Amino acid sequence: MIQVLFVCLGNICRSPMAEAVMRDLVKKKRLSNKIGVDSAATSSWHIGEPPHKGTQDKLREYGISTKGMQGRQLQNADFDNFDYIIGMDESNIRNIRTILGNPSSPKIFRFLDLTDHRKDVPDPYYTGNFQETYDLVLEGCHALLEKIILEQRL
């Protein structure tokens, strides 16, 4: 099974939003038996907590569930356990590499580098704009799913 891990600072806004959106897209493509999706934080601030209320509310608007999701911190074993490790911003990428022992690997990349935006996903915890984050996450997840389907010949 192909494993995808989305990573942000706290694992309560952006990465769980990406996890939920990607799971929804994977399910709609009938690839749930071939692609697994998870999310994690580079910090330990919100371990065990559900996604932020703003993330839950925004996903609920689109009929996407966050049931059972809770924050966790990135671990060394994640490098071996995941085929794609996607940071939501450049700071996340630096922190991912530090936590994982500075691996130089194409499996670690910034989320929106797959799109024409080539920027960081803004953190709605600070901006309050969950719609902007959702729109960028949806676009990024479509691009990532296309990449996985092509690379993995699904």
Q: Please list the active-site residues.
A: 8, 14, 123
Q: How far apart are CA 81 and CA 65, in angstroms?
A: 24
Q: How many C-beta neighbours within 10 Å does residue 41 have? A: 23
C-alpha dihedral sign at 28, 115, 126, 85: positive
Could you give the 3-state DSSP secondary structure of residue 47? coil
**Exposure string for 109-147, b = 16+ CB within 10 A, e = fewer:** bbbbebeeeeebbbbbbeeeebeebbebbbbbbebbbee
Distance CA 31, CA 52 (A): 27
Query: How many other C-beta atoms can be found within 10 angstroms of the C-beta atom of residue 107?
Result: 13
